Amino acid sequence: MIKTVLENKEKYQPGLSIDCVIFGFHDNQLKVLLMKTRYDDSWSLPGGFVPVDQDIDQAATTVLRNRTGLDGIFLRQFSTFGRVGRNSANLSKVVLDFYGITEEEGLWYSSRFVTVGYYALVDFFKSAPASDGKSGYAEWVDHNDVPNLIIDHKEILDKALETLRMELNQVPVGYNLLPEKFTVPELQKLYETILGKSLDRRNFLRKITAIGILEKLDEKKSNVAYKAPNLYRFDLEKYEEVLKNGITQGW
């Protein structure tokens, strides 16, 4: 991939990149989609360079589609990262050496890049993490068990998680992370996992019900050992209205 970019570098905006923090929810864990690099034992966030003929948001959407196989997913720009020295000279040398690129040929790649951070929320079961064989392979990892990440990608991930936690007090997020039908305990567990703390069951039910985005179904969860809980789904019209107007209560 690096060779291809360098051979066509005039098609990309110099000094500008994007990095995406892609969240999913599975087995009561908040998952992050990471890329295993080919050149050493480290991992990275999915990302890429910005074509000169694309808006930044469009370039981020392309990265997400390539990595998850999904269109129309929740995507939000949350911060920009551009401190001096964020591009590691040692890492650039390792990458260029791995691909057999001389220092002179790789000057465009090893120069300073400012990166725009995005976070995305996807349905774990609908996504199909893709690996192109050139930049490494993709894997879902528990956000509490993230391995060593390149350059400042851990900082980017931490900032994305901090932003997601803050926005739980402003907008609902379950529609993008849960299956179509779910139970209130499953929804509560999602919030607890993101926030990193326990929530009172009755208070959670009262608050989430007051938002008015849940539709109770005439169905119960099957294959459970105890009393089967009711299934719910989101009222998409009301959900989108709340997304526009926001909520005022905290968790």
pLDDT score for 225: 62
Contact at 8 Å (CB) between 151 and 86? yes
What would the pLDDT profile of 170-205 be if each residue is shown by its tens digit? 877 888 899 999 999 999 999 999 999 999 999 999
Is the same domain home to 210 and 116? no
Of 116, 136, 167, the last residue of a domain is 167
Is the same domain home to 17 and 42? yes
Of 175, 67, 62, 173, the residue nearest 127 (C-alpha): 67
Hey, is 156 helix, strand or coil?
A: helix
Structural domain harbouring 187: 174-245
Of 111, 138, 167, the last residue of a domain is 167
- Total domain count, the chain: 2
Is the same domain home to 15 and 48? yes
Question: What's the token pair of residue 105?
Answer: 């040929």
Q: Is residue 230 part of a domain?
A: yes
pLDDT score for 24: 94
Of 167, 196, 229, the last residue of a domain is 167
Domain containing residue 33: CATH number: 3.90.79.10
Is the same domain home to 128 and 206? no
What residues contact residue 148 under an 8 Å CB cut-off, 6+ apart? Answer: 41, 42, 43
Is the same domain home to 232 and 160? no
pLDDT score for 231: 95
* DSSP β-bridge partners for residue 137: 36
Please report how the helices 153-167 and 184-195 are oriented relative to each other, as an axis angle in degrees rounded to 10.
130
Is the same domain home to 126 and 9? yes
CA-to-CA distance for 154 and 151, rounded, in angstroms?
A: 8
Question: What's the token pair of residue 202?
Answer: 């009755």
Is the same domain home to 64 and 184? no
What would the pLDDT profile of 212-224 be if each residue is shown by its tens digit? 999 999 998 877 6
What would the pLDDT profile of 51-76 be if each residue is shown by its tens digit? 999 999 999 999 888 888 888 788 99
Is the same domain home to 162 and 187? no
pTM, two decimals, is: 0.89
Q: Give me the average pLDDT of each 10-residue run along the chain (251 residues).
A: 87 95 94 90 92 94 85 89 88 90 92 95 83 70 94 96 90 87 94 94 92 92 77 92 79 73
